Amino acid sequence: MFASLPALLRVPMVLLALAISLLAHVLPLFALTLVKLLIPLRSVRRVLSRALVRIAESWIGVNNALFDLFTRVQWDIHGLEGLDRTRSYLVLCNHQSWVDIAAMQKVFNRRIPFLRFFLKQQLIWVPLLGAAWWALDFPFMRRYSSSVVLRHPELRGKDMEATRRACRKFRHVPVSMVSFAEGTRFTPAKHAAQTSPFRHLLRPRAGAVAYVLDAMGDALHGIVDVTLIYPDGPCTMLDLLLGRLHRVHVRVRALPIGEELRGDYNEDTTFRGRVKAWLNALWREKDAYMDRFDAAARGGDGTGG
């Protein structure tokens, strides 16, 4: 009903509804976080952590319902069978837009453990959201450029050690750790600058993936490989709000974690090469799937095969 309203009316309405949802969920979330900080008992903190996740899942559920109400996005989702919200996963996904996060929350909310994304340290200062992400134990990362590391060698490896610390706290509770292995959103300019061997993807970075696997160890039950495709081309959150995003295609595959993905990424050069080869092979499969999807869409099928 609301999706057919003119954008001039619809956009303020959905923004207002999203703001009300934000306040309705963030305020109790902050209240429970304060209690969690004041009570040092581990058993109590675990109960409160579960309650915080339930609030966050409700928040995402309401936002998903609002997007369904105010937009006409057609969701084409494949491969959710066999996933379990009591098991921990490493979720690997290609990265094209800020819509990716909303899309993944739409697909996985309450189907697998609550998604945690690695966030840049600066995002902790985003009003309300930054504090909410911190309360929900999202890992904040400081990424150092090569030039900064050259000037300050003591910073080498600090970002990866932060990855390890962030993951260790989830060894005893179900979690879905999301890694956008490309490290940044796809653009034609970045693709050209990288001389990427893939048609639709940037080069994946194996380091963060390997460190999550190492830090989580046997607590991880598998890898969830996600391929996001926007058939109508590049999009932004503004396109979603304005109703210019019409279709999202999502392919999900559950993959085992074999022994070839266990090892010390820093010290074992053989293991490092093995992880890079595995991730590049996964990206070649993903790229080929996106090629098939394009070909099927041009032929009028649009399923990707």
Mean predicted lDDT score pLDDT of the chain: 87
What confidence tens digit (pLDDT) does each residue in 218-249 have?
889 999 999 999 999 889 999 998 889 999 99
Query: What's the pLDDT score for residue 118?
Result: 79
Is the pLDDT at 142 greater than 70, yes or no? Answer: no
Q: Which comes out higher in pLDDT, residue 111 or 243?
A: 111
DSSP 73: P
d(CA 209, CA 109): 22
Of 245, 262, 256, residue with least CA distance to 282: 256
pLDDT tens by residue, 145-201: 556 556 656 556 566 666 667 677 777 789 999 999 998 999 999 999 999 999 999
Contact 145, 193 (CB under 8 A): no
Report the pLDDT value the prediction gives residue 191, as an integer from 0 to 100.
95
Rounded Cα gap, residues 154 and 173, in angstroms: 33
Looking at the predicted structure, is the pLDDT value of residue 265 above 90?
no
Evaluate if residue 112 carries a pLDDT over 70. Answer: yes
CATH of 74-298 given 3.40.630, 2.60.40, 3.40.1130, 1.10.287: 3.40.1130
Domain boundaries defined on the chain: 1-72, 74-298
Q: How big is the chain by its Cα radius of gyration, in Å?
A: 20
Confidence of residue 131 (pLDDT cuts 50, 70, 90): confident
Q: In 3-state terms, what secondary structure has residue 276? A: helix
d(CA 85, CA 112): 4
How far CA 5 is from CA of 14, 70, 162, in Å, comes to 11, 9, 46
pLDDT value, residue 196: 96
- pLDDT-derived band at 144 (thresholds 50, 70, 90) equals low
265: helix, strand or coil: coil
Counting residues of the chain whose pLDDT is more than 70, the rounded percentage is: 90
Determine the residue type at 281. A
Task: Provide the residue type at 232 as one letter.
Answer: D
CA atoms of 277 and 262, how far apart (whole Å)? 14
Find where tokens 């976080």 sit: 33
Report pTM.
Answer: 0.87
pLDDT tens-digit series, residues 25-63: 999 999 998 898 888 888 888 888 899 999 999 999 999
Element (H, E) at 253: strand 247-255
Task: Classify 154 as helix, strand or coil.
Answer: helix
Answer whether residue 3 shows pLDDT above 80.
Answer: no
